Amino acid sequence: MSDKCHCSEWTPCQSALSQLFRTHHRLHRVLQTRVDQHGVTLAQFELMMRLQEAPGLTQQEVAERLDVTKGNIVGLIDRLAERGFVERRADADDRRLNCLFLTESGERVCQESCSDHANTCERILDTLSESEKEQLIALLSRIEQSL
């Protein structure tokens, strides 16, 4: 039996998801290159952005918002804490929980990289109208909900 695929061409669904996958990888590379200049990874930047938006989130809440495992979030937080960008504080009501906060240096790095990140995002999506951006968000949200 042959291991070759016998499809003569991809279905529209396969083509769409393949394009989405390629776009994701290119976008990830571009955005990673931008945050590299600030000394953080894209995952670390995203975590710091969540803490800037909502200081005091627990590790579990951050993991859920970033859609990563508890093990991954602990490693991300450990690396940011070692660099002095994030600190853990025991929750006043439940000392088993750690609440996360950006430090002063974490705030500074977050602000610097956020501005650069926002400008890069604007440049990338500048080819779309506001209506198309809204449509893109809606379509991607529907796809995400189906997963």
Q: Average pLDDT of 101-113? A: 93
What is the third-level CATH fold of 12-146?
Arc Repressor Mutant, subunit A (1.10.10)
- Domain extents for the chain? 12-146
Check if the beta carbon of residue 76 is closer than 8 Å to that of residue 44: yes
Residue among 110, 94, 112 at smallest CA distance from 55: 110
**How many residues belong to the chain?**
147
pLDDT at 11: 87
pLDDT at 88: 93
Check if the beta carbon of residue 92 is closer than 8 Å to that of residue 139: no
Residue among 96, 111, 109 at smallest CA distance from 59: 96
Percent of the chain exceeding pLDDT 70 equals: 95
Q: Note the pLDDT tens digit of each residue in 37-94.
A: 888 999 999 999 999 999 999 988 999 999 888 888 899 999 999 999 999 998 888 8
pTM of the model: 0.79
Q: Residues near 19 by Cβ (< 8 Å), separated by ≥ 6? A: none
Helix (H) or strand (E) holding 84: none
Give backbone dihedrals phi and psi of 117, rounded to 5 degrees, phi first: -65, -45
Greatest mean pLDDT range, 16-20, 31-35, 104-108? 104-108
| Residue with token string 């039996």 | 1
